[in-house]
Structure 1
Amino acid sequence: MAVNWLGLLSMGVFYLIVLGTGLWASRKSKREEKKCTGNRSEVTMVGGRDLNIWVSIFTMTATWVGGGYILGSAEVIYDPTRGLAWAIGPFAISLNLIVGGLFFIKPVRVKNYVTLMDLFQEKYGSTVTAILFIPSFFADIFWVASVLGALGGTVSVILDISSPLAVAVSAAVAVVYTLLGGLYSVAYTDVIQLSFMLLGLWFCVPFILSSPSSAYLSETAVTKLYQEPWIGKLELADIGRWIDDILLLVLGGVCYQAFYQRVLATATVAQAQITCYVAAGLCIILGIPSLIIGAVAASTDWNQTTFGVPTPYEQGKAGIILPIALQYLCPPIISLVGVGALAAAVMSSIDSALLSAASQFARNIYKSIIHKKASEETILVVVKVSIVLTGVIGAVLAMATSSVHLFWILSGDVMYSVMCAQVMCVFFLPQRVNQYGACTGLALGLLLRALVGEPLLGIPDLLPLPGDKIREDGLHLRSFPFRTAIMLITTGTILLVSQLAVYVSEKRLLSGNVHRPVHCELLGPIHKDVDENDGLNKEQPHSPGSNEEVGKC
């Protein structure tokens, strides 16, 4: 098949629109920087904290509805071993936004933090925060790899160009417009990208449903025709793994800086909450086309298409079943509309992950540890260099696997298994934890996750779990909710070691003091900081991100 020049042209036009929007937004960012009497770097990280409510809704929705979400949902429902019963993405992501709006917005918004790591820095100090930043950074890298892999697979199928080339070009475009204007560029391009997604995906649905090669969905939902029924089934023995996957997305999602970056860019707490609730509904709406396309692919006799046999699943191409279905079950011009929608989904998520990792590194690592007296210009340079490096690493990883769903879940796995306990403790139990508990919990969480292994990555399981089974195709399945178990064990360890450290200090068995953790109310007027050198909680009348006004930023 020759290169689809019309498709390349349409993709080029889309990228030019996105870059143009990013350039326009960068001018707004520059104007806000000139007005800012506080930290100019905060304009790049959280805008002027005055995003229009519709822009904030669009950017929050576009952040979660990325390539991994779109292609991953179709992959799961098409997979004959899983099906609709396991397509938890739309429901779980929507619930994640509702939970975030109810319980996590107010503490960070009223204190005018800039990053999620500000909470840890205020509680534990800079050194411990730097350690906790590591798993968050890797989660963002995996997220970038997931969405870039999604676009690479899509473009290679429909436009017949190499996947690595598509990944490289897409990463370069996202990096360029993120560099241009920071959060303003990300937010305003998200409006364009979400519009493409919403209209493009739903536009393709009627055409794919009318494909002559596919049987009626109502028939194949419960009857084995070309493969197992796409409705799927949930065995009693698999309930634990099913719940584990849901909690991974619901609770793991509130540990991402990308979520807080949008919350902190809104004008008020109420606007931030409304943003989450409306975005939750839009996530469901945007997930339905992927589920329909996956179900149609599972109901298709591929012998009747030009794709032929073996089927996409038998060829190991379940991860890109959505673009394959668009290519072989829709008219050519319609498939181009679909690839445009997918490109929009990918670009809307990659920029969020790039800015997330760069903001935390520049503010909480470089400025707090490496160069404490760094100027605002230097901080901005560090943000831009970090954006480029994160994009390059994510692009390299995206070229290494064909499963989009793998990196999507892996990113959430890191946040849920390792970071969720840390976030819950610092949000809801700050008076009961200290840096000793936090570091011990992190080390234990990483150790347990490594011992459990990961069959999808070829990492051996040195700690066998109850209920493990090997499928007929050799895939290692786990029914035990090990991620939730690790999260709970880590939470208990943080609390226990924190209290033990207090007890040992009171008995004068440690050199240096570890005062009993004071009540550090997140909404209180006075910050309780930890001195890294002696572990003492000290009252400080003011710190960056407090309730006092720091310029417009």
Structure 2
Amino acid sequence: MALNIPGLVSLSVFFMLTLAIGIWASWKSKKDQQNRNPTEMAMVGGRNINVFIGLFTATATWVGGAYINGTAEIVYLPSKGLLWVQAPLGFALSLIIGGFFFVNQMRSKNYVTVMDPLQETYGNVMGSLLFIPPLLGEVFWFAAILASLGATMRVVLNISGSLAIIISACTVILYTLLGGLYSVAYTDVIQLIFITLSLWVCIPFALMNSATESIYYTATHQSHQDPWIGKIEKQYLGRWLDDFFYLVLGSIPWQTYFQRVLSAALPGQARLISYLSGLGCFSMAIPSVIIGAVAASTDWNQTSYGLLSPLERGESAMVLPLVLHYLCPAYISIVGLGAIAAAAMSSADSALLSAGSMFAHNIYRKILRKEATDTEVLWAMRISMLVFGAGAAGLAFYSTSVYDLWFLSGELVYALLFPQLCCALFAPSTNTYGSAAGFLVGLLLRLMAGEPALGIPPIICYPACCLVNDTYRQLFPFKTFIMLLTLGTIVVVSYMATALFQRNLIPRRWDVCNIMGGTSTLMPLQQMEKQMGSSVVALEENQA
């Protein structure tokens, strides 16, 4: 296949347009920066993002390349189908639950990152440990997005995937470095609009292609082999529920989400952004579902793709760009490619900014250099983004393993970070001992459950663990079970530690985490004398 010159030119124009908008947003942020904290401007937009921009950037954060490609792939796969497309509903419920329960707690205290309440409750050392899973998740996510974009460009444009990865990474890193959240938010607006228009323009051409049967017929008639509606077999119900709860609850404790809602001017606006973006996220899956159904209803031998189907060639993950390329006219498929590129970049910039913000604010400022100025923190964020972006681009060349690593790190965020965040916000009596115990229990149990995609065999076989193609698979909802066990461990160990120190069953000099400093009702004698002395002095001053 020859190089697709028109597609290459069109994509170059789109990249330059995105970069130009990012640079303009950077200029706008500097103009608005007067009398504002520069680090807050970069990390949360100076808490001045309006509802319209906030809605677009929050929706675009979730509607990435993996979202639209993955939705089409699952609908297309005979072993899955529409009933296994959980991300649209899962993400939508996640955003609604986040808006209802978490936004007020985070926004009312003017937190900057999702790590702030964790460090405030459990201390900087514990906070730095909890920082590792989301950091790995953001870097692996960025790498997986770049790898997916590179593979798509290789299919449609016939250019080197490595070149596509490098160009995409450089573009995203440049405008994110220049303008922070402002650049990310404003480029998200144009990217989301482009995704919506491009995919809906392509759908009529794909539906009317002579090689494609009616998707209504292929979904409802049992005579058609492998209807794309799919089914959930009884033995897989536990796994389906586990994945669903993982998407709903595990999508909350990410900086990419809180960066958007914390950038709103008022708590009410933050909640509204969260609710509306949930609806937007759900609706953005509709074009991908239709394209997946078209792919399942197509006789690929009647197209220039050839005799074997994408499933038989092992190219199911590329089914969306394949539909755009082989079932749509050339000029339409180019538009669709722009949608995929826009979706990838809208998530990649969010992941990069989130990783840099957490490192600069929670690690550099609060642990490494507590006396750092705002300018120094800003430069720490920029340098860390450059390092994380370069590392992710390097990892993107190992696409399959990177995606699996991201999935595992996302499960660690669900098992470890979600219960920690819930306890920090809603059970402030929990302490560092409980947090550390919960972290250790959750980490060990998740790693011992194994990971088939990475070739890690399970040490613990939960109920319904079975051997499939020489690989053990956990069909029990173990991810949610581990999350609940972590939550219970944090609460129980925190209560026990407090009780043991209060009753002097453990000497207070062994309280290395100093949990009794502000929570104990049995105050040490020296502390009581100090407070009584301060009260007497204050009373004498008032009388004088």
Residue 534 of structure 1 corresponds to: 514
Bigger radius of gyration among the two:
2
* Match of residue 194, structure 1, among 185, 192, 201: 192
Amino acid at match of 2:300: W
Aligned to 1:443: 440
CA contact under 8 A between 1:80 and 1:228: conserved in structure 2? Answer: yes
Q: Deviations over 1:272-292 (max 9, x none)?
A: 111112111211221011111
Question: Could you tell me which of 493, 498, 509 is aligned with 1:497?
Answer: 493
Counterpart Cα distance in 2 of 1:167 and 1:131? 31
Q: Distance in 2 between matches of 1:402 and 1:455?
A: 13
Question: Which residue does the alignment assign to 1:545?
Answer: none
Q: Structure 2 CA distance, aligned partners of 1:182 and 1:510? A: 48
Please name the residue that 1:148 is paired with: 146
Alignment of 1:154-553 (within 5 A): 154-223=152-221, 227-402=225-400, 406=404, 409-431=407-429, 433-471=430-468, 477-512=473-508, 534-538=514-518
Give the structure with the larger helix fraction.
2
Offset of residue 407 of structure 1: 6.1
Q: Is 1:126 aligned with 2:124?
A: yes
Mapping of 1:13-52 within 5 angstroms? 13-36=13-36, 39-52=37-50
Structure 1 residues 135, 537: CA separation in 2 closer, same or farther (over 3 Å shift)? farther
| Pairwise CA distance, 1:136 | 1.2
Indicate the residue corresponding to 1:10 in structure 2: 10
Structure 1 position 396, deviation (Å): 2.8
Shift of 1:408: 6.4
Q: For the structure 1 residues 506 and 536, does the alpha-carbon distance in structure 2 shift closer, same or farther, using more than 3 Å as the test?
A: closer
Helix, strand or coil: the match of 1:266?
coil
Query: How many Å apart are 1:316 and its aligned residue?
Result: 1.7
Residue 357 of structure 1, CA deviation: 0.9
CA shift for structure 1 position 508: 2.5
- What does the per-residue CA deviation read over 1:223-248, in whole Å, with 9 as the maximum and x for residues that have no partner? 46775221111112211111111111
Q: Please, what TM-score do these two structures have when normalized by structure 2?
A: 0.91
Cα offset for 1:441?
0.7
1:33 shift after superposition: 3.0
When structure 1 is superposed on structure 2, of 145-154 and 94-103 the one drifting more is 145-154
2:434 maps to amino acid: G
CA separation of 1:476 and 1:299: change in aligned 2, threshold 3 A: farther
Q: Is the 8 A contact 2:144 2:399 kept in 1?
A: no
Deviations 1:121-155 (A, max 9, x none): 11112111111101111111222123222211211
Q: Distance in 2 between matches of 1:107 and 1:336?
A: 44
Shift in CA distance, 253/514, structure 1 to aligned 2, threshold 3 Å: farther
1:468 deviation in Å? 2.5
Q: Is the 8 A contact 2:356 2:384 kept in 1?
A: yes
Unaligned 5+ segments in structure 1 are 516-531, 540-553
1:117 to 1:168, Cα distance in 2 relative to 1, 3 A = same
Shift of 1:311: 1.8
Contact 2:137 / 2:406 at 8 angstroms: preserved in 1?
Answer: no
User: Which residue identity does 1:159 align to in structure 2?
Assistant: L
CA deviation after TM superposition for structure 1 residue 40, in Å = 2.0
1:319–1:403 Cα contact (<8 Å) kept: no
Match of 2:530 in 1: none
Alignment partners' CA distance in 2, 1:405 and 1:81: 20
Change beyond 3 A, Cα 1:309–1:227: farther
Question: CA contact under 8 A between 1:68 and 1:408: conserved in structure 2?
Answer: no
**Counterpart AA for 2:46:** G
Distance 1:512 1:435 in 2: 15
Contact 1:71-1:322 within 8 A present in 2 as well:
yes
Equivalents in 2 of 1:425, 1:179: separation in Å? 34
Cα distance in structure 2, aligned partners of 1:474 and 1:336 = 42
CA separation of 1:437/1:537 partners in 2, compared to 1, >3 Å: closer, same or farther? same
SS in 2 for 1:267: coil
Q: Structure 1 residues 87, 478: CA separation in 2 closer, same or farther (over 3 Å shift)?
A: same
Question: In 2, distance between residues paired with 1:477 and 1:226?
Answer: 30
CA distance in 2, matches of 1:101, 1:533: 33
Residues 357-379 of structure 1: CA deviation (Å, up to 9, x unaligned): 11111111111111111122211
Task: Confirm or deny: 8 A CA contact 1:143 1:408 kept in the other structure.
Answer: yes
Shift of 1:115: 0.7
Alpha-carbon distance between aligned partners in 1 of 2:515 and 2:309, rounded to the nearest angstrom: 60
Letter in 1 for 2:43: M
Answer yes or no: is the 8 Å Cα contact 2:458–2:472 preserved in 1. Answer: no
Q: Which moved more, 1:209-218 or 1:102-111?
A: 209-218
Is contact 1:505–1:513 with CA below 8 Å preserved after alignment? no
Equivalent-residue separation in structure 2 for 1:294 and 1:404 (angstroms) = 24
User: Distance in 1 between the 2:203 and 2:238 partners?
Assistant: 33
Deviation at 1:348, TM superposition (A): 0.6
Give me the whole-angstrom Cα distance separating, in 1, the residues matched to 2:7 and 2:18: 17
Q: CA deviation at 1:409?
A: 4.1
- CA distance in structure 2 between the aligned counterparts of 1:484 and 1:401, rounded to whole angstroms: 27
Check 1:462–1:222 CA distance in 2 against 1; reply closer, same or farther (3 A cut): farther
Q: Which amino acid aligns with 1:234?
A: I
Q: RMSD of aligned C-alpha atoms?
A: 2.0
Distance 1:251 1:284, change over 3 A: same
The alignment partner of 2:32 has SS state of: helix
Shift of 1:406: 4.7
| SS of equivalent to 1:399 | coil
Question: Contact 2:44/2:181 (CA < 8 Å) preserved in 1?
Answer: yes
Shift of 1:514: 8.7
Contact kept? 1:178, 1:351, Cα under 8 Å: yes
Name stretches of at least 5 consecutive residues in structure 2 with no aligned partner.
Answer: 520-544
Q: Distance in 2 between matches of 1:276 and 1:498?
A: 32
TM-superposed CA distance for 1:478, in Å, is 3.2
SS in 1 for 2:461: coil
CA distance in 2, matches of 1:289, 1:326: 12
Distance change >3 Å, CA 127–CA 114, structure 1 → 2: same
TM-score, normalising length from structure 1? 0.90
SS in 2 for 1:33: coil
Distance 1:259 1:514 in 2: 39
Match of 1:96 in 2: 94
Show CA shifts across 1:3-56 (max 9, x none): 1111111111111111111111111222233322xx421111011211121101
